[in-house]
Amino acid sequence: MIAIATIVEGDGEVAALPVLLRRMGEWLSPGIGVNLSPPIRVRRNRFLSRDEEFRRYLLLAAAKCGDNGWILVLLDADNDCPAELSEQVLQRARSHVPHRRISVVLANREYEAWFLAAVDSLHGKRGFTFDNPQNFNPEHTRDAKGWMGNRMGKYRETVDQPAFSAVMDLRQAQKNSRSFRKLCSEWSKQIL
């Protein structure tokens, strides 16, 4: 049994990430048990800019996952480069919790971009419709929450995010999103 402590920035991710990680476990590491602590919610800007707050949350995550656990920090990249910022955050985090396995993953723009990467599998769910426009690129779409809302009436992060996390096609998301591939890669590296 591997304990996982997560740090997230949004209320939607507090409910959605455990759903997503359980599904990833069944898909990528069947038979390996994981114990998911409730996510630790932070405010992205304060978490990244205030070193004492950054340290405090990482130490809390380290305590939650125990000596052999894994800390996963999942944030939205917003307008930052996910690869560059995640590496910077990872190096800072390692200086505070060198005694724990830790990964930092930044969803390209926002968590909902992963839904766009698996958009075909969401058609017809929760009132969402996708008309399959040509040249659709989920990695370059800004305001994924708004994009989703325009195709389903109203998108409610705390309700729809966990619901879509429960039904999205993980393989499709992995194929179409570099940041989701990073999450899958970190899962395999830390769990297997």
- Angle in degrees, 0-180, between the axes of helices 157-167 and 11-28, rounded to the nearest 10: 10
Q: What is the mean pLDDT of residues 83-95?
A: 96
pLDDT score of 153: 87
Mean residue pLDDT of the chain comes to 94
Phi, psi of 55, deg, nearest 5: -60, -45
Give dist(CA 169, CA 156) in Å, integer: 20
Q: What is the pLDDT of residue 137?
A: 79
- In this structure, of 112-126, 132-146, 177-191, the range with the lowest mean pLDDT score is 132-146
pLDDT at 133 over 80: no
pLDDT at 134 over 70: no
What is the pTM for the complete model shown? 0.95
How much is the average pLDDT of 56-60? 98
